[in-house]
Structure 1
Amino acid sequence: MQTKSQNRPKFRLWIFAALGVVALLTVACDRKTKKQAVKLPPPDVQVAEVIQGKVPIVMEFSGTINAIKTVNIIPRVSGYIDERHFEEGTFVKAGDPLYLIDPRPYKAQLDAYQAQLKLDQAGLAFWVKETKRYQSLARQGAASKEKTEGTIAKRDELLATVEKDKADIENAKLDLSFTNITAPFGGRIQETKINVGNLVQKQRDVLTTLVQMDPVYVVFNISRSDVFEIQLLKRQGKLFETEDMRIEILLPDGSTYSQQGKINFISYQINPTTDTVLVRGIIANKKDQGVGDFDLIPGQYAPVRLILGQDPAALLIPQPALVESQIGRQVFVVTQDNKVESRSVEVGRGYQGQWVIKKGLKKGEKIIVEGTQKVRPGVVVNAKPYAPKNA
């Protein structure tokens, strides 16, 4: 009969054999798994070539819409306001009547000057005849020199008086015309500050304000660093002439305003407080037919795009190809042997669904546009041409 101590070596041998079998099975499975992993096909990606193209050179600034003309309507004659001819806040045309000052005192003054002119003209006619008569008598020796010279002086005095009367009449006509206050230009009329029946003093009281709406100014400031960049672009021959540069305005909904403007003033002097240069453009202010109002309002904030010139050989890539990472902006380049290479890039502005690449890529290189999440540097990929989804 065997004891427990005699059976123990056989039991241990059996355990070691079992563990060996398990180890062999584990190694075999591991090798099989690795072999299967190696056999996975390369991931499919869509690639596009880095291309060169003509791209407008654009800078963006914060601007303000200003009225070209804003004028306070001030009376040129004193008097009582008889009539107001406009609705506050509406658009008026050049020459439209705004106010009427009581014209009766000025009409009476004009009538008085015209009557005085007739009186003085009658006196002048008399003394012209008298002068001729005394000159004739003086040649015959029948009139004294003193008497003849007296008639000439009287005639000349009345000649001057008649001229003064005519000038008084012209001034009276002007004063009478000034009682009808009209719009000096087309624009939006503001609220009235004087009501019918009020007495106004010439050259002093402000009746209302008129603001020109079309065209308008867009004013913005360019920083010194941007000025330096513009000067560099000019030396490279990439800038338009100033009169050919164009201004675009972004509307509050993010769309681009339909009208383009042009630069009409550059200060060419840096403001020491803001370290900027003042630039002013002029742009048509289209009247919206749907609501009957203008698109641009003086005083409003206006993001500005300044189209400075054109880069004839800009490097372009589809915007989805750009990858944001902890080390900056990158793209994945596919080499000739279909391996992935990570490349840091310096990016310019966007243009028609593409990024302008300043540094990091060359024309003709292939970059991954779709499938960037599937790859890492060194991986072999199955590259297919990029097919935009909206194409």
Structure 2
Amino acid sequence: MKELKNLTKYIITAVFLIGITACSGDGGEYSNQQQNQSGVIPSVEAVQARYGSLPLVERFSGNVRSENQVALYPEISSVVQEVYVQNGDFVKRGDPIVKLNTGILEKQLQQAEANFKISNAQLKQAQAQFNEIQSEYRRVKQLEEKDLTSEAEVDQIEGQLLSAEADVELG
């Protein structure tokens, strides 16, 4: 209420000052000269003072900061397909905020699964080849003990065995 009385005083004072300024002058010649120089005719409106409520609308410029703010960081990188909340909406833990376009990620997953199956098949193939060469190595070693094979054949099968073992480790 005190603010309303102060505001009323300011309005009455402003109207009074405008009225005095508009009525002052030396009879018209100065006023006409001033009017011709600036090109603007000052407008004055006189109203009767009265009690009542005034619309209290004020405009301010500035920055607004929220009390609680949370930074969101996605676990994956993707294009946002749909947004479920707006600025200022209240959300709880686990509430969906956005929907991501997962088409590319699904295709990448299918490709990774296919690569995994291929790698498993290659590993099985390498293990089978290793087992085959290992049994061949045992046979050659038995023949070597009886002096029925050459050193070159033993060296060759040992090289094949090492190569097959490395293929299994890579698979």
Which of the pair has the greater relative contact order for Cα pairs under 8 Å at 6+ separation?
Answer: 1
Q: Which has the higher strand share?
A: 1
Q: Which has the higher helix share?
A: 2
Question: Under a length normalisation based on structure 2, what TM-score does the superposition of the two structures give?
Answer: 0.48
Question: Under a length normalisation based on structure 1, what TM-score does the superposition of the two structures give?
Answer: 0.22
